[in-house]
Each structure stands twice: as C-alpha cells, then as structure tokens.
Amino acid sequence: MRLFIALKTNLDKGKIFSYEKSLMHTVSGVKWVEKENLHLTLKFLGETSMETKEDVSFYLSKIAETTSHFSFQYSGIDAFPDIRRARVIFVSVRNGKKIVSLMERVDDLFGPLGFKKEKSYIPHLTLGRVKNGYVDLKRFNLPQFKSEDVEATGILLVKSTLTKNGPIYQHIAEFDFG
C-alpha cells in the first residue's frame, strides 16, 4: 500500500479551499488539490508492506506520546522551486520549527525501516501542481492570504490510492499527541 504521514491539525479546510478557488480563477494549467485532500505532509513513505506498516504505526505512536500540542501559522503563497518558476504552489508555514523537529524525529526512527532521510524539509500545504512547465506567479495579482493560528494535535498515517480522477486518501491510523 502507498502511504504517507501527515500532521493532524484543526485546520479550517474551507477557508484554505476558498483561497485556493480564487487562485483557480487566476492561475491556469494547474492540477489543484481537492478540499478533502488538503494536508501537511510530514513524510512520504511510498509503497509499504503490511509488516512495515505495523512498525511505522508503532513508532508513530511513540512519537505522538512524547509530543505536545503546538501552534503554527500559515503565512502566504509560495512555490517550489521558487515563485517565478512555480511547479508546486503551496501555502507556506510560519513558526514551523516544531514541525521540522517532528519530521526529523520521524526521519531518525524510520531510517532503520529502510526509508531514506529527507535532504531538506520546508513545511507547507500543497494547493496545486503545474501540469506542464512552470508558472511565474509574480505575474499575477494574487489574492491576499489571511494568516491564522493552527493547532497541531497529532499524526495521521494515510493510505493514498491513485486513480485516473486523482488520489483517494484514507486515514488508516491516528495518533493524538500526549
């Protein structure tokens, strides 16, 4: 099964999606993320056996037990590799040090399970991926994004099933912070 680890939050997906919808009218040639699929990924695992999934769940429960709730803010639009050559359009995170620390803990524990460490990590919430080439977002008068506090409350283990209509995400395990 194809898995990833996401941060469980009290994010108001409706507000983020309304912002995304305004971008849809401004920027074309982008495969936009569906409202129900909005999330902040901590680590993409890819194809994972049932046995490894059980090990992953065990380690995630241990990480969650020793992690307290924390807050951060979404701060505005950005892109990978950069705003002038956008291939991935996302909402950036302000005060994301605890998210990065959490990701590093996941990376350290999952190395022995055969998962590669991330070279770098920039916490973000993906809104869309450019279908062909890139987009210069500086050309557009992008709507203003109002930053709000978001509380991180746990970790989600998510199964991703790819279909011709886009991915289907299913939460297969949930670990609340201690």
Catalytic residues: 39, 124
Q: Which long-range contacts (CB under 8 A, 24 or more apart) does 91-97 make?
A: 91/16, 91/19, 91/124, 91/125, 91/127, 91/145, 92/122, 92/123, 92/124, 93/40, 93/122, 93/123, 93/124, 93/125, 94/147, 95/71, 96/72, 96/122, 96/123
Integer Cα distance of 111 and 135 in angstroms: 35
Separation CA 104–CA 22 (nearest Å) = 34
Nearest to 27 by CA among 147, 130, 166: 130
| Token representation of residue 127 | 């809104």
Q: Do 136 and 4 contact (CB within 8 A), yes or no?
A: no
User: What are the φ and ψ backbone dihedral angles of 31, each rounded to 5 degrees?
Assistant: -90, 105
